[in-house]
């Protein structure tokens, strides 16, 4: 474990400082696995630039002395619009792995998403008091396995299923090729092991991923689920409309944090198209490059109901396990609160396109 005794350490002051500390603590391989992106990492950088390119038109004298960060996502009340994105294989980042990530989310009143490839299983999540979570599904060729995963997730308390659709092939991540980092094939995939697959080791499980995803895959997942299904990895308005027409509760505008297809459109720009196309039918969440309170405010103002963060939570996990995760999330939540004040919005609800200017 990177820091055995976190009690006495000085916590990094900013999210960027967490990122810098993470880079010092972690091996080059793990750092590259978390921080890297596909190809020349153009989308990775453009995700950040696109949020920055949206300018703010703050309202003066707007009476923002007390602010209400809360919102409603899929019919449930959330203390703030920041959700922890699903990230697999966190055992590499910290010995607490997904348990620390989930517990840190609870501490920060944030909803947690659990990856199919999380190192923790459904039973581990059931044991975490106060956890509010969604399950992220990667589909396998064996449809029975997909059905079992969805059913077991729901039984364990998942309140939505996130069907990830942007892994039709694994992105070519140059950093991993250079550092030689590979996910080890002998580790069992906890959630898959729990639903009774004969050989739940990573290598065979990974080899049985369904890369031939289609609208029929979504229809089947919706049929399997009795909770809402969100489609994660949507970057076009027409696809968002198709998803909702097939019965999805909404979409997550995501390019997987720039990890899959280099030069894919940054999500801040795709979000505009998706919100416009859906016209209020179905929920829209967004991730990829959210690092600051103003990024959250911009996403909500453009029309997202919530934002998700991947790497920032992992930087917190790597630096200090559960406590590091909650520190990072608290920094982001505080920054969002400050952003609301300075933008002149007294609540999440009042943010609107009128507060922002989109680049041409």
Ligand X SMILES: Cc1cc2nc3c(=O)[nH]c(=O)nc-3n(C[C@H](O)[C@H](O)[C@H](O)COP(=O)(O)O)c2cc1C
- Which residues are part of the catalytic machinery? 256
The interface mask with ligand X, positions 191-230, x = CB under 6 A, is ----------------------------------------
Quote the least distance from Cβ 261 to ligand X, whole Å.
Answer: 13
Give the separation between CA 142 and CA 199, rounded to whole angstroms.
13
175 near ligand X, rule: CB under 6 A: no
Quote the least distance from Cβ 124 to ligand X, whole Å.
Answer: 16
What residues between 41 and 80 interact with ligand X by CB under 6 A? 47
First-to-last CA distance in the chain? 47
Quote the least distance from Cβ 133 to ligand X, whole Å.
Answer: 14
Residue of the chain from 25, 290, 299, 319 that contacts ligand X (CB under 6 A)? 290
How many helices (H) and strands (E) the chain has is answered by 14, 12
- Identify the DSSP state of 59: P
Beta strands (DSSP E) in the chain are 55-56, 71-73, 76-78, 82-84, 112-114, 133-137, 161-164, 229-234, 250-253, 283-286, 306-309, 356-357
Residue placing its CB nearer to ligand X in the complex, 49 or 349: 49
Quote the least distance from Cβ 86 to ligand X, whole Å.
Answer: 4
> For residue 77, what are the β-bridge partners?
72
Residue of the chain from 96, 224, 287, 323 that contacts ligand X (CB under 6 A)? 287
85 near ligand X, rule: CB under 6 A: yes
Burial class (CB within 10 angstroms; exposed 0-12, middle 13-18, buried 19+) of 57: exposed
Residue of the chain from 31, 103, 109, 164 that contacts ligand X (CB under 6 A)? 164
356 near ligand X, rule: CB under 6 A: no
The interface mask with ligand X, positions 111-150, x = CB under 6 A, is ----x-x------------------x--------------
**How many angstroms separate the Cα of 226 from the Cα of each of 78, 85, 116, 153, 247?**
21, 21, 18, 11, 12
Q: How many Cβ atoms sit within 10 Å of the Cβ of residue 167?
A: 18
CA atoms within 13 A on the CB side of 301: 28
Residue of the chain from 311, 322, 327, 355 that contacts ligand X (CB under 6 A)? 311
Residue placing its CB nearer to ligand X in the complex, 104 or 310: 310
CB 110 within 8 A of CB 17: no
CB 262 within 8 A of CB 196: no
Quote the least distance from Cβ 199 to ligand X, whole Å.
Answer: 20
Interaction site with ligand X (CB under 6 A): 33-34, 47, 85-88, 115, 117, 136, 164, 232, 254, 256-257, 259, 287-290, 309-311
């Amino acid at each position: 474990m990177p820091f055995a005794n976190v009690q006495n350490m000085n916590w990094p002051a900013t999210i960027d400082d967490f990122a810098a500390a993470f880079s010092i603590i972690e091996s080059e391989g793990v750092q590259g696995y978390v921080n890297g992106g596909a190809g020349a990492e153009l989308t990775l950088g453009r995700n950040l630039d696109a949020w920055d390119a949206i300018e703010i038109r703050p309202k003066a004298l707007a009476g923002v002395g007390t602010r209400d960060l809360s919102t409603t996502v899929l019919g449930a009340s959330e203390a703030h619009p920041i959700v922890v994105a699903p990230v697999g294989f966190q055992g590499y980042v910290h010995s607490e792995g997904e348990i620390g990530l989930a517990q840190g989310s609870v501490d920060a009143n944030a909803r947690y998403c659990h990856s199919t490839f999380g190192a923790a299983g459904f039973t581990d999540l059931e044991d975490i008091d106060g956890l509010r979570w969604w399950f992220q599904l990667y589909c396998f060729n064996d449809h029975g396995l997909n059905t079992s995963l969805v059913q077991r997730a729901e039984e364990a308390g998942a309140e939505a299923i996130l069907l990830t659709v942007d892994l039709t092939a694994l992105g070519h991540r140059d950093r991993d090729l250079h550092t030689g980092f590979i996910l080890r094939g002998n580790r069992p995939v906890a959630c898959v092991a729990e639903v009774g697959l004969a050989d739940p080791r990573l290598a065979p499980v990974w080899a049985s991923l369904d890369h031939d995803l289609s609208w029929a895959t979504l229809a089947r997942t919706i049929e399997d689920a009795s909770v809402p299904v969100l489609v994660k990895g949507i970057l076009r308005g027409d696809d968002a409309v198709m998803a909702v027409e097939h019965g999805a509760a909404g979409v997550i505008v995501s390019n997987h944090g720039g990890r899959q297809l280099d030069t894919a459109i940054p999500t801040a720009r795709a979000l505009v198209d998706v919100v416009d196309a859906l016209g209020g039918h179905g929920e829209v969440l967004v991730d990829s490059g959210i690092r600051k309170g103003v990024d959250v405010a911009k996403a909500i103002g453009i029309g997202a109901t919530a934002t998700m963060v991947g790497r920032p939570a992992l930087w917190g996990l790597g630096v200090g396990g559960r406590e590091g995760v909650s520190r990072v999330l608290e920094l982001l939540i505080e920054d969002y609160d400050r952003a609301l004040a300075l933008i002149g919005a007294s609540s999440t609800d009042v943010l609107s396109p009128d507060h922002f200017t989109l680049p041409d």
